[in-house]
Amino acid sequence: MNKVISLNVDKVLSFVSKEKIDANAALAKQCNETLHKGTGKGNDFLGWLNLPSSISEDFLADIEKTAALLREKCEVVVVVGIGGSYLGARAVIESLSNSFDWLQRDRKVPVIVYAGQNIGEDYIHELMTFLKGKSFGIINISKSGTTTEPALAFRLLKQQLEAAVGKGEAKNLIVAITDAARGALHTLAKKEGYKMYVIPDNVGGRFSVLTPVGLLPIAVAGLNIREIVAGATFMEKETAPEVAFEKNIAEQYAVTRNELYKSGKKIEILANYNPKLHFFAEWWKQLYGESEGKENKGIFNASVDFTTDLHSMGQWIQEGERTIFETVLSVANPNHAVNVPMDEEDLDGLNFLKGKRVDFVNKMAELGTQLAHVDGGVPNIKIEIPQLSENYIGQLIYFFEKACGISGYILGVNPFDQPGVEAYKKNMFALLNKPGFEKEHEEIQKRL
């Protein structure tokens, strides 16, 4: 088995020539070097760049110790956060965990659930009802502690936990992941005596999965964070500026998607053929959408789960507006084997597949779809993952992060800020008549 994730752009070359891609090798290399020299836009948020190789044994041991305590005391652990504060952890946990393990009564790890990623009243009510009578803990992730969605969820869950076990025990079941020195959550954690981890100042939320933001929930879920870090460290070396362009898959991906964008392919669809990767795509959408969607530029990011979505979005992808390209996540070797059985009546007509693995059928669906989409005018980039394992997921995380930084610089934007995100917040605060927004409240009322 190949020991590294791989990139294949062959099914792009009839749309964008290899010569055009190779002509941008020097630019990609320059952008990669700019990242490492720290001389580009957003250079105060490059802490993720050499993060994998800088993680210490003591740090990992401390994360594992905290995770073990939560596993010992809790049936359920609630991860409170929004955006990068929960998507990275959920992407990894859902990719590597048994899809139905949460239904088992003899679970060896807590059920991981999520809060603070929305303001759905029914959702929070149903979550709080689910937690009644259960031993649960909370991992509260927020740089400031005042972001509306997670702050609201944490206030409610903290009150419920303290009512159930008392403030003295509740503090042992709450972990705060926040700013090193300031902010509401930092202040509360110090006051209450919560175990606390730091979100580095120079790591933005969407790049934070290899900090305690992601590593602690992942460890609570019983996954091997050392292997995740090892995979990311390997990819850190594989995508370094000194690695030649023809071997540097982060530079190749960044160039290829930008060349497709220049040719009129404005939408990138991340497609997978393994349902475990659904939330990995959600993480990817934030990573690229929030990094590149600026200055009226940037590829629009979407995702589909195949073959499921071939029965809903397949028609549009095949024959809709030709402004799209696909990046396909392909898992070479599933972790389990299931063979198609013989059936004497063969009413479903599937006996021609007897003895074949289900994955063989899936792979032929993948290949058939790729051929159909390319014939229909949709370029295909393929990223092959040898297997769903901690090491390969670690590689994939760092690959996408590194390619994102390079791609943003090729596009000419700052990939590490998100000024547009504040627009809805200002309007929401004004509508809620939050203190300090009185003037905005009056102005927005005139518009309604």
Predicted confidence at residue 146, as pLDDT, reads 86
Report the mean per-residue pLDDT for the chain: 94
Alpha helices in 166-224 (DSSP H): 167-170, 184-192, 212-220
Predicted confidence at residue 3, as pLDDT, reads 85
Q: Which of 3, 108, 311, 336 is catalytic?
A: 311
Taking residues 64-87, report their average pLDDT: 95
Q: Is the pLDDT of residue 101 over 90?
A: no
**pLDDT tens-digit series, residues 302-325:** 999 999 999 999 999 999 999 999
Q: How far is CA 61 from CA 77, 167, 225, 279, in A?
A: 20, 27, 10, 27
Predicted confidence at residue 2, as pLDDT, reads 57
Q: Is the pLDDT of residue 442 over 80?
A: no
CB of 370 within 8 A of CB of 380? Answer: yes
CB of 373 within 8 A of CB of 366? Answer: no
Sheet holding 111-115, edge to edge: 111-115, 76-80, 136-141, 174-178, 195-198
Q: Is the pLDDT of residue 104 over 70?
A: yes
Q: Is 394 helix (H, G, I), strand (E, B) or coil?
A: helix
Predicted confidence at residue 173, as pLDDT, reads 98
- What angle is formed at CA 401 by the lines to CA 63 and CA 34, rounded to 5 degrees? 115
Q: How far is CA 273 from CA 63, 356, 358, 364, 439, in A?
A: 32, 18, 12, 11, 51
Whether the predicted model's global pTM rises above the 0.75 cut: yes
What is the per-residue burial (b if ≥16 Cβ within 10 Å, else e) of 273-294?
bbebbbbbbbbbbbbbbbbbbb
Tokens 């009644």: give the residue: 132
Sheet holding 267-272, edge to edge: 6-8, 380-385, 324-331, 267-272, 300-305
Q: Is the pLDDT of residue 157 over 90?
A: yes
Taking residues 151-178, report their average pLDDT: 97
Q: Is the pLDDT of residue 1 over 80?
A: no
276 noted as active-site residue: no
CB of 388 within 8 A of CB of 335? Answer: yes
Alpha carbons within 13 A on the beta-carbon side of 130: 17
Predicted confidence at residue 420, as pLDDT, reads 66
Predicted confidence at residue 106, as pLDDT, reads 73
Q: How far is CA 362 from CA 83, 274, 353, 375, 378, in A?
A: 31, 9, 12, 20, 20
Query: Cα separation of 109 and 93, whole Å?
Result: 12
37 noted as active-site residue: no
Q: Which of 81-90, 253-262, 423-432 has the weakest average pLDDT? A: 423-432
Look at 2 and 192; give whichever has higher pLDDT.
192
**pLDDT tens-digit series, residues 29-38:** 999 999 999 9
**Would you place residue 163 in the very low, low, confident or very high pLDDT band (cuts 50, 70, 90)?**
very high
Can you name the residues that pair with 303 across neighbouring β-strands? 270
Spell out the domains of the chain, with CATH numbers in brackets.
6-40+229-413 (3.40.50.10490), 51-227 (3.40.50.10490)
Predicted confidence at residue 52, as pLDDT, reads 97
Taking residues 133-146, report their average pLDDT: 94
Q: Which residues contact 33 (CB under 8 A, 6 or more apart)?
A: 241
19 noted as active-site residue: no
Predicted confidence at residue 421, as pLDDT, reads 67
Taking residues 288-305, report their average pLDDT: 96
Q: Which of 141-155, 399-413, 429-443 has the weakest average pLDDT? A: 429-443
Helix (H) or strand (E) holding 269: strand 267-272
Q: Which of 18, 190, 247, 425 is catalytic?
A: 425
Q: Which of 94, 251, 282, 290 is catalytic?
A: 290
DSSP 309: G
Cα Rg, the chain, nearest whole Å: 23
For 36-85, what is the HEC assignment? HHCCCCCHHHCCCCCHHHHCCHHHHHHHHHHHHHHHHHCCEEEEECCHHH
**pLDDT tens-digit series, residues 419-439:** 866 677 778 787 777 887 777
CB of 220 within 8 A of CB of 164? Answer: no
Q: Is 332 helix (H, G, I), strand (E, B) or coil?
A: coil
